[in-house]
Chains A and B, each alone.
Chain A
Amino acid sequence: MIPAAFDYYRPKDMGDVVALLQEHGDDARVMAGGHSLIPMMKLRMAEIAHLIDLQDVAGLGGISVESGQITLGAMVTQHEIIDSDALRAAAPILHEAALQIADPQVRYMGTVGGNVANGDPGNDMPGLMQCLDATFTLVGPDGKREVAARGFYHAAYMTDRDDSEVLTSVSFAAPKGGYAYEKQKRKIGDYATAAAAVQIEKSGGVCASASIAMTNLSDTPIWSETAGAALVGTKVDDAAIAAAIAAMQADIEPVEDNRGPAAFKRHAAATVLTRAIRRAWDRA
């Protein structure tokens, strides 16, 4: 578990980061918390000749909650997310989800930017951000651009981000209504067997809007538009939930691995989503 040799850079501004990325192309990688990247390097699944540490780069930190808009700097750690009262008040689903990621030691290091940029279908934040309809801001040689989380993920480890771009922040409107993040895992520190992020708004006793995203059940996170739509206009009773589950099942494509066969994962997906919908509806 010893990584191949690499050159280490610790630039202070974004211009230098982008320049380094442009110079070294696929041989370079930025590092945030390192808690996905370094294990891959140690397993020699990733050989990165040029490692660019983002720690000292200005302007990548901070949580801002202003007039209903939330922005998280890419280098905000999962621990900071858990620790922020303002964020917890404005978007409690983040708090609930972050507490289910890894363990405290990993959360002190792991960042929201790294989690969403990584492209690992096991990461929890991408599905969560799709549920919240977040926008990712990227900076590259051609300047800044924004990409919707719902359009960011193409396949496992394949995202809309270009090799020479850096993800600088994640932003979304403060969610309204009830929420739940439900995750089944084998043990502490494990990625999801199945996880569901749900936000529901209630109005006049019926569901006014619902957003549902699933994690680790396909090679990308799955925002299931139809599953959410199945709840809208209903009292979120058993029949509506069953319809949402059926819609979700049509969108996911789980595969067998050490966590179990695909049929089990579908059952687990149904169970976590049912629980998440019920809890979110209760809270709506």
Chain B
Amino acid sequence: MNDMTPEREERVAGLKGLGCSRKRVEDARFTQGKGNYVDDLKMPGMLHGDFVRSPYAHARVKSINTEAAMALDGVVAVLTAADLAPLGLHWMPTLAGDKQMVLADGKVLFQGQEVAYVIARDRYIAADAVELVEVEYEELPVLTDPFEALKSDVVLREDLDPAAPGAHGPRKHPNHIFTWEAGDREATEQVLAEADVVAEEMVYYHRTHPCPLETCGCVASMDKVNGKLTLWGTFQAPHAIRTVVSLISGIEEHNIRVISPDIGGGFGNKVGAYAGYVCSVVASIVTGQPVKWVEDRMENLMTTAFARDYWMKGKIAATKEGKITGLWCHTTADHGGFDACADPTKFPAGFMNICTGSYDIPTAYLAVDGVYTNKAPGGVAYRCSFRVTEAAYFIERMIEVLAIELNMDAAELRRINFIRKDQFPYQSALGWEYDSGDYHTAWDKALNAVGYDDLRKEQAERIEAFKRGETRKLLGIGLTHFTEIVGAGPVKNCDILGLGMFDSCEIRIHPTGSAIARLGTISQGQGHATTFAQILASEIGIPADSITVEEGDTDTAPYGLGTYGSRSTPVAGAATAMAGRKIRAKAQMIAAYLLEVHDDDVEFDVDRFVIKGAPERFKTMKEIAFAAYNQAIPGIEPGLEAVSYYDPPNMTYPFGAYICVMEIDVDTGEHQIRQFYALDDCGTRINPMIIEGQVHGGLTEALAIAMGQEIAYDEMGNCKTGTLMDFFLPTAWETPHYTTDHTVTPSPHHPIGAKGVGESPNVGGVPAFSNAVHDAFRAFGLRQSHMPHDHWRIWKIADDLGLHG
């Protein structure tokens, strides 16, 4: 068919490779209700689990009486810590090197903690039996404030030796978990002491929750005949879960199969291991039947991993002209009753040390103290790469506070402090090497796009009109320039529970020239099946439509650490490209053989190898694939397969410039977003449409977090936001229009230059919304007011500033 060569561009387009806004292949099944989620699994004889949970935030468990529950028809068993203890499963290790009760072992540390696990014939009987379990509690004093906890005589974790160091070094107090430091304390204190100007502020990033639409759950099925355990679940890291299950249970890893089917959103909530998984596995082993556990919305919000809850005390030093000379930060981190943060082992405060942000800050110091309180454990990266959201919010608030202190325009202050393009790769004062960036270009593009100077004029006029009593609405202009750190990560410094954070891809080309690729990651809505096929299409010249991408089954997929922290594209995407290159290398040899020339005399051209200088003589990848299987080629093994395990040399550093223009009603505290402009630079853009979708979704989460979403407790430790009536999840109604834009600064070390984008909008969006609120009140003297900026809190700002007359 060599005479029918289509035009090169047409061939490129036909691949639907890099840069193509290819429609998501997943959507056909999702939009037609044909997804397959954990709760869709139905198996013969399947039993159902449900938890008895503590109504108290801190209490001793005096006794548990399961008699009445056991007497209910249809109840198979009720597990308590006493039943799990002989197996050593009443506690489990957390990802952060701590341990956590699977079922209450003598006491409870947060409201909703798992106390007993009921196994019944159906879900309804299980729920009724939960009510029949009688638990006698003795209430203990409750600590919900981390600062109080560090002073209190009340010891939360009586299981820990107060004198012994924790997983991350010495502990200062029985309720203290760790101190983690980065940077140069002495030098920073000296800079602060000698600076022209120092702005100081406490920045609180409140506790919130990832709240995926699908809650957490699993089905455990122990086949007693062949000794194999199959565990379906909502796991963002199925391979790591398999290893952890093996380590905890003693079942050999080859006898465990973990499957993550379709997942309805994760956002970090589905990274960790939960009591429900352990209890379901035990229940299946005990009963010999499959056991399903799926939490409800309240259980999800109240007990599975929360996010943020960082009290960040900051000091920022600058010259009179606004050049930043130093940054100091002390964070008090509220981790709840157990330290179940999902961070790489060496980073108990995640990548909080990216908190110098986009700025060339020569000297900096960060210390983080982790603290136990009577709140749910977690501290996961809610659509963020390990505390980057906290870091970005901190620095973007500190810049605004410094601008107030200097009486300077905040856009200009940013501009004069950005790391310059020629400074990359840039060594930050807190220990990172930023790979690439061009912040000034992005910033100017953003300011121009929104007409920044005109907006400031309009704002000044509005303030005058407000003072004259002509309007009750103020105008806020929220600026953010964020730098993310994603793609964990180099195995030399990133592991979770000792598991190195590489990722993987395995490719099989079928004889007729289509392919299947399997990865160690797992999509929860990111569209991996679409984008990874595009990376491969460009690498190996087989159309994306002819490539199946599969993830999530540990029996078939290569080992990998899963999907969170925007790591899929930087790590598994790189593995995909590298595996593709191995395929291409072998294809080159086959092509040369078929064309009867030397290997070096052929070159890759879109979907084929051509003879250099004679492009009319070629072999397509389709032809090569067929030959690979069906022609005896001397010196070359049959088949066309490759696998790559990719350990990235560095993180990637996506960045962006976001601007939010917001109207605020000072009487009702209501807001209206007039304009939101989001410029993202995620390096090479694989699928612009998917990027845009990710940005829209992440910005909407950011809107929620900044403007209303929180997990709040009263002083008794009761969670006040356990349902979607009180936990804000925006709908189309609350969601503004977003304008997206981009610049492209590829990562120099990533095989295709891609940096990852899924989390940028959450990281950059929160400070943009929050800064808009603050900016609206700047002229009236506001410096800092904690999120979420819901109606009453905005009203309170106005009230405190005397704007209600």
Contacts and interface: CB of A to CB of B under 8 A. Distances in A.
A25 interface: no
Interface string B285-302: 000000000001110000
A5 B792 CA distance: 40
A188 B123 contact: no
A88 interface: no
Given A2-B124, A190-B725, A264 B792 contact: yes
Contacts of A190: 725
Interface string B129-142: 00100000000000
B128 A4 contact: yes
Interface string A182-194: 0010111111010
A154 interface: no
B792 A261 contact: yes
Interface stretch (B444-452, B497-505, B539-547, B663-671): B663-671
A267 interface: yes
Contacts of A103: 731
Contact of A267 (B128, B131, B296, B795): B795
Interface in B276-328: 296-298
A261 B796 CA distance: 10
Nearest to A1: B296
Contact of A184 (B670, B733, B793): B670
Interface in B624-671: 667-670
A19 B793 CA distance: 51
Interface residues of B, number: 32
A258 interface: yes
B791 A186 contact: yes
B728 interface: yes
A145 interface: no
A187 B728 contact: yes
A184 B791 contact: yes
Contacts of A186: 708, 728, 790-791
A259 interface: yes
A159 interface: no
Contacts of A268: 667-669, 791, 795
A172 B99 CA distance: 64
Contact of B131 (A4, A189, A263, A272): A4
Interface in A226-284: 258-261, 263-264, 267-268, 271-272
A258 B127 contact: no
A52 B799 CA distance: 49
A44 B721 CA distance: 17
Contacts of A189: 725, 731
Contacts of B792: 259-261, 264
A271 B123 contact: no
A1 to B, nearest CB: 4
A187 B667 contact: no
B82 to A, nearest CB: 26
Contacts of A193: 791
A186 B725 CA distance: 10
Interface string A21-53: 000000000000000000000011000000000
Contacts of A259: 791-792
Given A44-B131, A187-B734, A271 B124 contact: no
A267 B725 contact: no
Nearest to A2: B127
A139 B669 CA distance: 44
A185 B115 CA distance: 37
A267 B666 CA distance: 11
A50 to B, nearest CB: 17
A189 to B, nearest CB: 7
B733 A187 contact: yes
A5 B124 contact: yes
B686 to A, nearest CB: 34
Q: Name which of B124, B127, B734 has the most chain A CB atoms within 10 A of its CB.
A: B127
A195 to B, nearest CB: 12
Interface in A186-214: 186-191, 193
A189 B726 CA distance: 11
B23 interface: no
Nearest to B295: A1
Nearest to A274: B667
A258 B720 contact: yes
B520 to A, nearest CB: 35
Interface string B693-723: 0000000000000001000100000001101
Interface residues of A, number: 25
B804 interface: yes
Contacts of A272: 668
Nearest to B708: A186
B362 interface: no
B14 interface: no
Contacts of A44: 131
Contacts of B670: 184
Contact of B668 (A261, A263, A271): A271
Given A4-B128, A187-B731, A268-B668, A258 B721 contact: yes
Q: Name which of B128, B296, B668, B799 has the most chain A CB atoms within 10 A of its CB.
A: B668
Contacts of B790: 186, 260
A1 B731 contact: no
Contact of A1 (B297, B669, B720): B297
Contacts of B791: 184, 186, 193, 259-260, 264, 268
B733 A188 contact: yes
A263 B790 CA distance: 15
B804 A267 contact: yes
B730 interface: yes
A163 B790 CA distance: 39
A184 B131 contact: no
Nearest to A193: B791
Contacts of B726: 258
Given A2-B124, A186-B728, A267-B667, A260 B733 contact: no
Interface string B187-227: 00000000000000000000000000000000000000000
A231 to B, nearest CB: 20
A105 to B, nearest CB: 11
Q: Name which of B131, B721, B734, B792 has the most chain A CB atoms within 10 A of its CB.
A: B792
Nearest to B124: A2
Interface string B85-115: 0000000000000000000000000000000
Nearest to A264: B792
A46 B315 CA distance: 52
Contacts of B669: 264, 268
Nearest to A5: B128
Nearest to A263: B799
A260 B720 CA distance: 12
A100 to B, nearest CB: 12
Interface in B722-747: 723, 725-726, 728, 730-731, 733-734
A268 B665 CA distance: 11
Contacts of A2: 123-124, 127, 296
Q: Name which of A1, A187, A258, A264 has the most chain B CB atoms within 10 A of its CB.
A: A187
Contacts of B799: 263-264, 267
Contacts of B668: 184, 268, 271-272
A60 B769 CA distance: 49
B772 to A, nearest CB: 18
24 contacts: A1-B297, A2-B124, A44-B131, A184-B668, A186-B708, A186-B728, A186-B791, A187-B708, A187-B730, A187-B731, A190-B725, A258-B721, A260-B790, A260-B795, A261-B792, A264-B791, A264-B796, A267-B795, A267-B799, A267-B804, A268-B669, A268-B795, A271-B667, A271-B668
Which are the 4 A-B pairs with shortest beta-carbon distances?
A260-B792, A2-B127, A188-B733, A264-B792
Given A264-B791, A264-B792, 10 more contacts: A1-B296, A1-B298, A2-B124, A4-B131, A103-B731, A186-B708, A263-B799, A267-B799, A267-B804, A268-B667
Interface of B: 123-124, 127-128, 131, 296-298, 667-670, 708, 712, 720-721, 723, 725-726, 728, 730-731, 733-734, 790-793, 795-796, 799, 804
